[in-house]
Structures are given as C-alpha cells and as structure tokens.
Amino acid sequence: MLQIHPQARTRPVVRAEIARSSEPTSVLARRYGISDETVRKWRKRGPDACQDRSSRPRRLAWKATEEERAVVCQLRRSTGFGLDDLTFVVRHFLPHLNRDCIWRILKDAGLNRLPPVPKTGPVRGKGKFRDYDPGYVHIDVKHLPKLQTANGERRKRFLYVAIDRCSRSVHLAVYDAENADNAVDFLKAVKTAFPFRITHILTDRGSCFTANAFEKACRDMTIDRRRTKAYSPQTNGMVERFNGRVATEVLQVCVSSHKDLEILLRGFCFAYNHRPQRVLNGITPDQRITSWLEKHPAARNPDYVKPANREIMSQVNEILDYANDVSQPDSYP
C-alpha cells in the first residue's frame, strides 16, 4: 500500500499535473498554494515519480569505527555469545557501544542470528534398537471393533500381539477382556509359541501389564520385565506398527462374526511369519529363526509346541470370498 506523508501539501494526482504542465512556476505555485521550490521539485522528478520517497538516509551513521565493528563481529564468530552476553563483554573495552549499536553491527554483517546448535544426543523419534538375539519380545493390546454375537449382543474383543525384536516373528491371540488373567495366559502362550527362549518382555504401562499377577508370572519364567516410558508409544513402535498393519489389511475386510475375524487374524499372522521382510534382507521370520537356532542350539525352547496352521489359509480364503461377494454384489440390468 502506497504511503503519503501526513503533512504533504499535494497528492500524487496534483504532482503529476504539475510535472506535465508547461505553465510558469509562479502560476502553479499560487494555484495549488505551494512554494516555487516545491513546483520545481516535482517537475524535476517527472510524472512517473510522484510518490513520497523514504526519509531513511542512504548511508547510516555508525557510532563505531570500522575497526570496532570488526572486533564485535570477530567476537561473535569466535565465542558464539548471545546479544546480551556479547554486549556485557564488549562494553568493558568499548563503553560507548550499547546493546542497540551492537545489534546493528551484527545485523549489517549477517551475524544477528546464531546458527542452530547441533544435538549430540539421540533425536527424539529417530532412535535405534540395540542389537539383541531372538528372545526380546514386544507385547501390546489392540481393541477390535464391535461385532454382533450369536445372541444378538454387540461387543468388542481384544487382540494381544507379541513380536520378536530380532526375527520379527509374531504371535497373537484374541480375548474377551483386557485384564491381568488374560495377559498372564497370553504370556504363557507366547512362551510355547516361539521356538527360542524368551529373555525380555517389553510392554506399555497398561493396567493388565502392571498387575502383580503379570509381574509374578514374568519372575516365575525368569523373564526380564521392562516397561516403556509414560506417554512414549514410539518406544514400543515395533508392535504398534504391526497393529497398524492389522487395522489396514485385516479390519477392512467385511466379516459376519467374531469367529471369522479371529480366523482372519490367525491367517494374517501365519502369512506374516512366512513373508519376506525387508529388514531381514529378504528372508522370512521363520527362516531367520531356523538359521539362528542352527548356530545356537542351546537357545532352543524345550516348551515349544509347533502350531498346525496349514489348514487356516483355506478357511481364510473362504471368508475372503464371502466378503468379496458381500462388498461387490452381482448387478442386475
């Protein structure tokens, strides 16, 4: 927006008329009530320069000499002090420079902003897990959507998920409630589901995992019990990401009962354990465990029970065919 000086006697339109007029200067001065010098000024500028110019001087007067400005800039580069600290130091040997003068010197040299200090510690959200052998298991609970049961009641169930940090092998189970008894039962199932010994358990601070019964079960199984920090779900991000995949790949399928949803989840778990993983350099979690146990036979789990999941995929295909028919019914002319 163009600014006009508040005490200006003319406006841009009048100035343009003065610049284009060929009448004598005295005549124009009497007509517009201004001095002859003002008329000559606008005629000299021409009709294309009728706006007020800035009153800022072209060259600012410095309170400091060129050598003093160089000293201030060098102190800023070498020490990295803030403006207040730098002013405190400079005024010991240059007392005539105040805070505003020093800021103008830094601004003119492009040193008014300090460069960002590089962080030496780990960046939040970008940390890496320490390397562990198979046996460090992450556990979490996911709330499943509400479905209608056989008696017409609508209720939701809870998905307990366990994933090994090293091999990415997954085990899951569905329960009717999120409580300590189900958490202990799931822990016992996880112990027999993995062919290696479980050494560590990492969970969040949910009530079912902080109960005394769950803590006692971990001690009885000689498992190192660990919890995430409060309000830090990214610490347990491995199982959180798997829960996200369950939400996008399984819960989007149209099912008619809790039984069908449980079959889909078991089938997804079986397929995940036999799917090549990028973080495992293109091998499956099952192959990763097999190759590791060949090198470390003493780490085998004596309580391991091999699951019979080969038949589950045929049931999954039947459910997917039904869901496809429901979501895409035949169209009639």
How sure is the predictor about 332, in pLDDT bands with cuts at 50, 70 and 90? Answer: very low
Does one domain contain both 203 and 276? yes
CATH number at residue 178: 3.30.420.10
pLDDT of residue 333: 45
Residue 115, in any domain of the structure: no
| Sheet order of strands, 200-203 included | 170-175, 158-164, 136-143, 200-203, 224-227
pLDDT of 95 above 60: yes
pLDDT of residue 236: 84
Cα separation, 316 vs 309, whole angstroms: 11
Residue 26, in any domain of the structure: yes
Residue 301, in any domain of the structure: yes
Cα separation, 156 vs 147, whole angstroms: 6
204 bridge partner residues: none
Does one domain contain both 146 and 284? yes
Contact yes or no for 316/264 (Cβ under 8 A): yes
Percent of all residues in the chain with a pLDDT value above 70, rounded to a whole number: 90
Contact yes or no for 189/183 (Cβ under 8 A): no
Q: CA distances (Å), 136 to each of 125, 159, 276, 307, in order? A: 20, 20, 20, 21
Range among 48-52, 127-131, 245-249 with highest mean pLDDT value: 245-249
Does one domain contain both 195 and 103? no
Does one domain contain both 260 and 158? yes
258-270 exposure pattern, b = at least 16 Cβ within 10 A, e = fewer: bebbbbbbbbbbb
Contact yes or no for 198/190 (Cβ under 8 A): yes
How sure is the predictor about 51, in pLDDT bands with cuts at 50, 70 and 90? Answer: confident
Does one domain contain both 21 and 87? no
Residue 269, in any domain of the structure: yes
Residue 330, in any domain of the structure: no
Does one domain contain both 225 and 145? yes
Residue 59, in any domain of the structure: no
pLDDT of residue 55: 72
| Phi, psi at 322, each rounded to 5° | -65, -45
Does one domain contain both 292 and 153? yes
The pLDDT tens digits of the residues spanning 185-201 come to 999 999 999 999 999 99
| Phi, psi at 268, each rounded to 5° | -65, -40
Q: Residue count of the chain, please give it.
A: 333
Does one domain contain both 88 and 179? no
Does one domain contain both 140 and 259? yes
Cα separation, 100 vs 78, whole angstroms: 21
Residue with more model confidence, 121 or 173: 173
User: How many domains does the structure of the chain reveal?
Assistant: 3
Residue 144, in any domain of the structure: yes
Site of tokens 């995949």: 245
Residue 60, in any domain of the structure: no
pLDDT of 330 above 70: no
183-192 exposure pattern, b = at least 16 Cβ within 10 A, e = fewer: bbebbeebbe
Cα separation, 225 vs 213, whole angstroms: 13
- Among 52, 76, 94, give the residue marking a domain's end: 52
Cα separation, 20 vs 12, whole angstroms: 12
Give SS3 for 171.
Answer: strand
160 bridge partner residues: 141, 173
Does one domain contain both 3 and 37? yes
Does one domain contain both 178 and 281? yes
Does one domain contain both 2 and 84? no
pLDDT of 58 above 90: no
- Among 25, 52, 79, give the residue marking a domain's end: 52
Please give the residue range of the domain that contains residue 103. Answer: 66-109
pLDDT of residue 220: 94
Cα separation, 105 vs 114, whole angstroms: 14
pTM for the whole structure: 0.61
Cα separation, 133 vs 156, whole angstroms: 36
